[in-house]
Amino acid sequence: MATNCEISSTGSEGGSNETVSSQKREERLRKFRELHFKRNEARKLNHQEVVEEDKRLKLPSNWEAKKARLEWELSEDQKKKECVARGEDYDRVKLLEVTADDAERWERKKKKKNPDTGFAGYAEAQFRQYQRLSKQIRPDMNNYEKQREECGEDFHPTSNSLIHGTHVPTKEGIDRMVEDVEKQIEKRSKYSRRRAHNDDADIDYINERNAKFNQKAERFYGKYTAEIKQNLERGTAV
């Protein structure tokens, strides 16, 4: 009897050990399958990101701005169609969506004095310069009152007034004029001007583009090729 009981207890222990080991094996397999699934998922996501990044790199540099602009235009067209369908004025509906701050900012832009619209002609450029210089003038009211008292009725001349050549500018006024002229000369010196064509220069080009290339080459390598060029012109080159 004792022997049978020992055998049965030993068998039950062996069965329980096998059950525990099989459970542990199943747990390890389950974790392994999860890790395998996560690895495949990460690999798939990485591949998608690489493909998307490659697409973005192949796009133009200003693609995002163009895309935003196109989306805005499509949105505006859709809003216009909706307003037309409802019989409403699109401009009035759009103004209802403008905030007070935006409206004030736009109004300040419209009222901006002397806007730079680019070069349109020498007359317009001269007029803009005149407006800019006029805004820089700061009247001296004390000197104004002093001259008014000295000139008397001739301060507001008529056709019978003889005051030509009687005004003598102050030293401060002359200094301001000289300073302003020097600023204009300095600013003008920074402008890019069209180079004058020299009719006496040697023609070593076939078109305008080739002429510019030759000028650049002469600027960088002229001092090294001067002797070779002279020999070729004299016909004494080896």
Helical (H) or strand (E) element with 238: none
Q: Is the pTM of this model over 0.85?
A: no
Q: Which two tokens stand for residue 121?
A: 């002609």
Burial level of 81, CB count in 10 A (0-12/13-18/19+)? exposed
Helical (H) or strand (E) element with 231: helix 208-234
Cα separation, 224 vs 238, in Å, equals 17
Question: How confident is the prediction along the chain (238 residues), in pLDDT tens digits per residue?
Answer: 445 555 555 555 556 777 878 888 888 888 888 988 888 888 888 888 888 888 777 777 777 888 888 888 888 888 888 888 888 888 888 877 778 887 788 777 776 655 666 666 778 878 888 888 888 788 888 888 888 888 777 777 777 777 666 777 888 888 988 998 898 888 877 776 566 667 777 788 898 889 889 888 888 888 888 888 888 888 775 5
